[in-house]
Amino acid sequence: MSDAALLWGGDLSAGPAGDIAVATGTALGQQRVLRRLLTNPGDYIWQPNYGAGLAQFVGQPCDVAAIRSVIRSQIFMEASVARLPEPAIDVQGVQDGSLFVQIQYVDSTAGSTQVLSFSVGA
């Protein structure tokens, strides 16, 4: 399966034949995990419970356990994330109120370790 290659906050890009670039395999899995974590619940009108809404934690006292719990519950809803071994989730509050997140998980189809690192907020 494939989907349009579109990283969060980015734009569509052209593929090698001049059409829209597509994401497949592990890139597609990473793209979907990131989209789920950064989408606010209720923003996706066809699935109101979709999304972790990590932006809600920006500017708040950093409750690492709560943020990890939200991330863990949401990423397991993506078929590309293997349940075993358990994903390693590192959350750090930054002085400006933003968050830095790093997730290491095993792609369930490829069997390879994937690492997603991103910031949320200011």
Give the CATH number for residue 6: 3.10.450.40
pLDDT tier, 70 (very low <50, low <70, confident <90, very high otherwise): very high
Q: How many residues does the chain have?
A: 122
pLDDT of residue 28: 79
For residue 34, what are its two tokens? Answer: 């990131």
Q: In the structure, what pLDDT confidence band is assigned to residue 101 with cuts at 50, 70 and 90?
A: very high
Question: Per the omega criterion (within 30 degrees of 0), is the bond before 85 cis?
Answer: yes
Given a cut of 60, whether residue 110 has pLDDT beyond it is yes
Report how many domains make up the chain: 1
- H-type helices in the chain, by residue range? 25-38, 64-75
Residue 111's pLDDT is: 93
Residue in 102, 96, 105 with CA at minimum distance from that of residue 62:
96
Domain hosting residue 12, numbered range: 2-120
Strand partners, 99: 93, 120
Tell me which DSSP letter residue 19 carries.
S
pTM to 2 decimal places: 0.82
